[in-house]
Amino acid sequence: MEFGFVDCHCHLSAREFEEDLDDVIQRAVEAGVQTLITVTEEVGEFDRVLQLQKRYPDLVAPGFGVHPLQAGGSSQCRSVNLQDLDAAMPLFYQHRERLVAVGEIGLDFTPWFAPTRQNRDDQMSVFIKQLQVAKELDLPVNVHSRSAAQVTIATMREHGVQRALLHNFAGKPSVALEGVKDGYVFSFPPAVCRNTQRDKLIRQIPLEHICLETDSPSLGLNKHERNEPSSITSVCKYIADIKGLTPQMVQVVTAHNAYRLFPRVKQQLQTVPQS
């Protein structure tokens, strides 16, 4: 069985890709990307990711999720509330056969975005509801955590979550290792190559618990440039260097981890409607 790269967390429905997505996808394929797990932040994107799955059925694997921060089409973010989830709830069930994950969901307790107790409580309610959806649909979760590493992992453990990807994780190594014990997997985007801040964390997490992602169009090598999935090669090489392995080894093991965590990616290929 041959493995290409699996980008475990990207946002192809983002406005930044509207103009030239075919070229972006082409470059990803040329770089060896085999699967793009395409997550959402808001219900307004759900339809778009299903369209993308139809357009690139052997590449795009969709996840539906309501992110802890909502932009609603503007550049200003605010903390999520339960009303934001209302329109999303029936869609999870309606399109359950098409989904490979519930995400992007999670907790973002950055003081600037979630200044009040109420904000944090609302985020927690929205997160827990979606953990329950994932459980009911037997889907893994694709999770964001910022300034909330420990509480995110503890919440998932309390709710019996067994399959989770913690994307762009930036918590302490000791907290990550708690998550490893729970069986959780951690993915890192090209932005980790910008400095050595996460080297220690990456060194301590066993490779069997690591996946690759790009979080395109964000979190690329250069802060102010649009990121795209072909940049996955850079983070693969970076992780390989830290762990003293070959990039090929990291590519194969992380892809294997990804298909184990998101088994429906492989099954999906047969069920995408052809029209």
Backbone angles phi, psi at 245, to 5 degrees: -120, 170
The four Cα atoms 185, 186, 189, 195 give a dihedral, to 10 degrees, of -160
Closer by beta carbon to Zn ion, 167 or else 209 = 167
CB of 41 to Zn ion, least distance (A): 7
Task: Give the sheet arrangement for strand 141-146, strand by strand.
Answer: 5-10, 33-38, 60-64, 101-108, 141-146, 164-167, 185-188, 210-212
CB of 212 to Zn ion, least distance (A): 14
Closer by beta carbon to Zn ion, 15 or else 117 = 15
CA angle 87, 88, 89 (to 5 degrees): 100
What's the rounded Cα separation, in Å, for the pair 108 and 112? 10
CB of 197 to Zn ion, least distance (A): 19
Could you list the residues that contact Zn ion (CB under 5 A)?
Answer: 104, 215
Enter the tokens of residue 231.
Answer: 């940049």
Closer by beta carbon to Zn ion, 117 or else 224 = 224
CB of 131 to Zn ion, least distance (A): 17
CB of 97 to Zn ion, least distance (A): 24
Classify strands 69-70 and 78-79 as parallel, antiparallel or unpaired.
antiparallel
Q: Cis bond leading into 136, ω under 30°?
A: no
CB of 10 to Zn ion, least distance (A): 8
CB of 215 to Zn ion, least distance (A): 5
DSSP 29-90: HHTTEEEEEE--SSGGGHHHHHHHHHHSTTTEEEEE---SEE-TTSS--EE--THHHHTHHH
Residue of minimal Cβ distance to Zn ion: 215
Identify the bridge partners of residue 37 per DSSP, sorted by sequence position: 61
Say how many Å lie between the first and final Cα of the chain, rounded: 29
Closer by beta carbon to Zn ion, 193 or else 246 = 193
